[in-house]
C-alpha cells in the first residue's frame, strides 16, 4: 500500500523533528514547512496532484493565529484535515484512538498521540466522516 502524504507546519522551525519521525513511523511520507503561507501554498498545489496531502499537522503555531489559518485554508478551498499538536489537549483513551474535533476539519492531539491520531484522522477522512465546514 502506498504511504499517505502529510504536511507539517512547524511554525518557525521550533521543534526538533519528532513529529516527522512519529508520522514516518505511522506510515506517512512527510514534507515540513515553517510558515503559514508556505503551508497554504503546498497544500493547495498538492490538492490538485495525484497524491494530495492526507493531513496537515500543525506545531508551534500561536493560538491567536490558529483559527485565522484554518479559515484561510478553508477559504482557499483546501480540503485537508488539520491536526493541531498541543500539550493542552485532553488525555484519555478515546482521544488516543480519535482526535478531538474542534471546528470543522481541525482536530487536537497531545504530542505522544501523533501517530495514532494521524491514522485515525485519515481513516475518518477516507470514510467521509470529517466535517468540511469551519465555524
Instruction: Indicate the domain borders of the chain.
Output: 4-126
Which residues contact residue 133 at a Cβ distance below 8 angstroms, ignoring those fewer than 6 apart?
74, 104
Which has the higher per-residue pLDDT, 112 or 88?
Answer: 112
Mean pLDDT for 88-106 is 61
pLDDT at residue 22 tops 50: yes
Please report, for residues 12, 30, 42, 83, 92, the alpha-carbon distance to residue 8 in angstroms, rounded to integers and kept in the order given.
Answer: 12, 7, 10, 9, 24
- Cα separation, 101 vs 25, in Å, equals 23
Let me know: does 53 contact 46? Beta carbons within 8 Å: yes
Q: Is the CATH number of domain 4-126 3.40.50.2300?
A: yes
The length of the chain is: 135
Helices (H), 27-62: 36-47
- The string of pLDDT tens digits covering residues 67-82 is 889 889 988 988 888 9
Return the DSSP state at 50.
Answer: S
Amino acid at each position: 500500500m502506498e504511504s499517505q502524504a502529510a504536511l507539517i507546519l512547524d511554525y518557525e522551525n521550533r521543534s526538533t523533528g519528532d513529529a516527522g519521525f512519529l508520522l514516518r513511523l505511522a506510515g506517512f511520507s512527510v514534507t515540513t514547512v515553517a510558515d503559514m503561507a508556505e503551508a497554504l501554498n503546498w497544500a493547495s498545489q498538492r490538492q490538485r496532484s495525484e497524491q494530495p496531502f492526507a493531513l496537515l499537522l500543525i506545531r508551534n503555531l500561536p493560538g491567536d493565529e490558529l483559527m485565522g489559518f484554518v479559515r484561510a485554508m478553508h477559504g482557499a478551498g483546501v480540503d485537508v484535515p488539520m491536526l493541531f499538536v498541543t500539550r493542552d489537549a485532553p488525555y484519555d483513551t478515546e482521544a488516543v484512538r480519535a482526535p478531538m474535533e474542534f471546528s470543522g476539519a481541525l482536530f487536537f492531539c497531545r504530542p505522544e498521540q501523533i501517530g495514532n491520531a494521524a491514522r485515525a484522522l485519515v481513516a475518518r477522512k477516507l470514510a467521509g466522516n470529517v466535517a468540511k465546514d469551519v465555524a
